[in-house]
Each structure stands twice: as structure tokens, then as C-alpha cells.
Amino acid sequence: MSSQAGIIIIDYGMGNLRSVEKKFERLNTDVRISSDCQEIAQAEKLILPGVGHFAQGIRNLKESGIWDVLQHKVMVEKTPILGICLGMQLMALRSEEGNVTGLGWFDAEVVRFRMNDKRIYKVPHIGWNTGERTRPSRLFTAVPEQALFYFVHSYHITCQQPQDILTSTTYEYAFTSAIEKKNIFGTQFHPEKSHEWGEQLMANFIAL
């Protein structure tokens, strides 16, 4: 991996990026946080993290100029990208949160949790949960089926194309917790906060 490119963690003003950077640094890879469109354009791989409001995330991407760079890198150059939490949700066609359109890389919509038993199932969904695999993926190489990952979210993706779904997680009902299409990957959970198996998943992304 060249020192010029490496992995860029995209800073578009949404969330704590340092914990993601620290986890990649533990894996001895060339990684840095950047909001510079030229640096993002040179990256060999991209991370789109994020915590917060969908509409604000889209607005920040567009106002910073990162939106156009991302669309070219991912859809034309086929650069591998991993979306985390809000970063994954932004890859959908649209969201109920702000009722705005997303990057449009997946035929999917982002919806708020709708719980029947609100005494047991609180929103946001916070804590450790598993992800049932729907198909094999290099992203989950050497990660056991019952591995626990850390979640904190009030909205989740609903995919219209079953082949895009990697894992399904149950919180009163099943929702999509990881997605993949060609060079595009996303996790609703936070691998950077998920200890050993989150680190393994990030190592797998490096190795793609």
C-alpha cells in the first residue's frame, strides 16, 4: 500500500473518527482522517463512518464537495469502501430521517425502529448483538457466526435486493445489519468498538 494513498477515513463532520483511526493503527496500516477532496481522490480504500442525523450527513457531504468525489471513486473507479453506522445508511436511496435522498448505491430505505413491546425493546438499540449470515463474504473471514458486535442506532436499513444483505440481526424483529455489493461494504454496528471480532473484520477489509 503506497504512502501516498492508503486508507482514508472521510471526515465530513459527523461523529468521532479517532476511535476508527486508532483501531486501524493497531493493525499497522497506512490510515489517516481527511476532509481533503484531493486526498480522498487518491485513496486506495475508503471508510465512511458517522453518527448523527441522515439529512445533516448528506448536506455535509454535498457542501464539502466530498459527495462528487465519492460518487466517482466508488461507482467509476470501484474503490473499496466500508460504511459504518450512519455511513452505511447514507448508501441507501433515501431515509425517513429528514426525508432526503442518499448516495443511492443500494436499493434500500432507512427507517426508524417500530417496536411493539416498548417496555423491553428501547430505541435507540444500544448494546451487543449477533449477526446471522445470509451468504459468505470476505469481510467476515475468520469471524465466528456467533460473534458479538456493538450497536447504537435508532434507524436501520431495509434492503429491497436480498443479495445485498450480508447479516441480519434480531431486535424484536430482524433487520439488516451488514451489506455488500461489489466494492461497497457497510455495517450498522461499530467494528471499531467491537473488540476482537470487530478488529478481525477491519483486518479483512484491509486485505480485500
pLDDT of residue 5: 67
The CA-based angle 177-59-167, given to 5 degrees, is 5
* Total length of the chain: 208
Catalytic residue chosen out of the listed positions 125, 153, 156, 190:
190
CATH (domain of 46): 3.40.50.880
Task: Clarify whether 159 is annotated catalytic.
Answer: no
Model confidence, pTM: 0.96
Catalytic residue chosen out of the listed positions 21, 85, 125, 153:
85
Catalytic residue chosen out of the listed positions 21, 109, 180, 192:
192
Asked whether residue 54 is domain-assigned, the answer is yes
Q: Are 82 and 91 in contact (CB under 8 A)?
A: no
How do residues 78-107 score in pLDDT, each as one tens digit?
Answer: 999 999 999 999 999 999 999 899 999 999
Asked whether residue 176 is domain-assigned, the answer is yes
Asked whether residue 50 is domain-assigned, the answer is yes
Looking at the structure of the chain, the number of domains it has is 1
DSSP 61: H
Task: Clarify whether 192 is annotated catalytic.
Answer: yes
Task: Clarify whether 125 is annotated catalytic.
Answer: no
Asked whether residue 2 is domain-assigned, the answer is no
Asked whether residue 132 is domain-assigned, the answer is yes
Q: Are strands 31-34 and 7-10 parallel, antiparallel or unpaired?
A: parallel
Asked whether residue 1 is domain-assigned, the answer is no
pLDDT confidence bin for 207, thresholds 50/70/90: very high
Establish whether the linkage from the previous residue to 136 is cis, with ω within 30° of 0.
Answer: no
- Structural domain for 21, as ranges: 7-207
